[in-house]
Amino acid sequence: MRALVLGAGMMGRAIAYDLARAKGVEEVVLGDISLEVARRSAAWAGQEGPGAGKAPKGGLAAIRPVKADVSKIASIKKFMKGMDAAVGAVSYRFNVALSKAAIAMKVNFNDLGGNNTVVQNQLALDEKARKAGITIVPDCGLAPGMVALLVARAVEKLGTADSVWIRVGGLPLHPVPPLNYKIVFQPDGLINEYVEPAVALRDGKKVELECLTDIEELEFPPPFGKLEAFVTSGGASTLPDTFKNRVRDLDYKTIRYPGHAERFKAILSLGLGSTKPLKVGGLRLAPRALLNYLLLVAPDLNREDQDSVLVRVTAVKGEKKVQYELIDLGEPALGITAMMRTTSFPASTVAWMLGSGKVEKKGAFPQELCIPAESFIREIRKRGVDVKLQRL
């Protein structure tokens, strides 16, 4: 199997790292708009030695860095030629164009997703993908992503469900006020989660919810203790559509330390989430661009600190309950953060399943409709993403 990874940032290099160690993978091409970044990431992903991740008997696959500008689709098509799978680890803004390129080159494609409208545009390519004999699967990170398959498996165990609650968060182990947060992925994606409409199911009907609302208290084992969870956009992705006839109530909330939601809501109340440019002195600037920059450079949000990822997916039917839980602390000694592992390894696992022929359906699908959930869960556990079935 040969795989193409587009984007060599934190997530892209971790995808390449995992694919290079996956059974049957012979070559990974890692592309980035900066060849130097691609080279550094390829060298990191190809590291060997104690704790570097178990390599298959044949050794690590070759990782070849290339300069790849995803805004120039003609050149991307050349890199896709002869690949069994391609993974998008770039901004969601490019995912529709990359999906179309994959169809043209007859290459399976999946990505990290993150925007509901973009995903719907990708799913509209279903017939073209089916005719090309390939599979396109958007939203394959953490949330949206892995949680969709945890929901699928939980509901499968119950048949139908009264309620499905999805709670996910990336947190620093040592929070610093006032936001008690650490930037673990692109700030623009974080803002998107806090300002775009959120979708959910209420009484079997798809509804939109306002973000940063409906704050609830929940608890995880030490060192976390009491936390909060609140409505955010994107994490539920296609689940309300997929399960509207099998689940009565379904929602997605982000986990943070207590007080985060109200403080960020105050920031957005100043208009800093707006994309409409304002004239300030002699400059025209979109407030959201300024907020994105400030989050990117704020010392308290970008300090050195170990991160964690918490996941709790609960499905309830009467007195029966199925619950999956994950507490991931990453591998700091190896340079793999919790967010890298829980976002990138699910994406690399889907790419490996696509490229290895373990996904039978052809077309464009949400992953809960085409990826075998139990097989996926087994594979990510092999990769150190220790999802536990809490109780049944």
pLDDT along the chain (392 residues), means of 10: 96 96 96 97 81 60 96 97 97 95 98 89 98 97 96 96 97 94 85 92 96 96 96 93 96 97 96 93 92 92 92 96 96 92 97 97 97 96 93 61
Q: Cα 368 to the chain's mean position, in Å?
A: 14
Question: CA gyration radius for the chain?
Answer: 20
* Structure confidence at residue 189 (pLDDT): 82
* Structure confidence at residue 205 (pLDDT): 96
Q: How far apart are CA 183 and CA 198, in angstroms?
A: 21
* Structure confidence at residue 304 (pLDDT): 86
CATH entry, 2-141+340-372, from 3.30.413.10, 3.40.50.300, 3.40.50.720, 3.20.190.10:
3.40.50.720
Cis omega before residue 144 (within 30°)?
A: yes
Sort strands 135-137 and 62-67 into parallel, antiparallel or unpaired. Answer: unpaired
- The domain limits of the chain are 2-141+340-372, 146-339
Sheet (strand 27-32) strand order = 62-67, 27-32, 2-6, 85-88, 108-111, 135-137, 363-364
**Which tokens go with 196?**
């775009």
Please, is 138 exposed, middle or buried when counting C-beta atoms within 10 Å of its C-beta (0-12, 13-18, 19+)? buried
Q: 201: which residues sit within 8 A by CB, 6+ positions away?
A: 164, 207, 240, 243, 244, 247, 248, 249, 250, 251
Q: How far apart are CA 264 and CA 228, in angstroms?
A: 13
Fold topology of 146-339: Dihydrodipicolinate Reductase; domain 2 (3.30.360)
* Structure confidence at residue 50 (pLDDT): 45
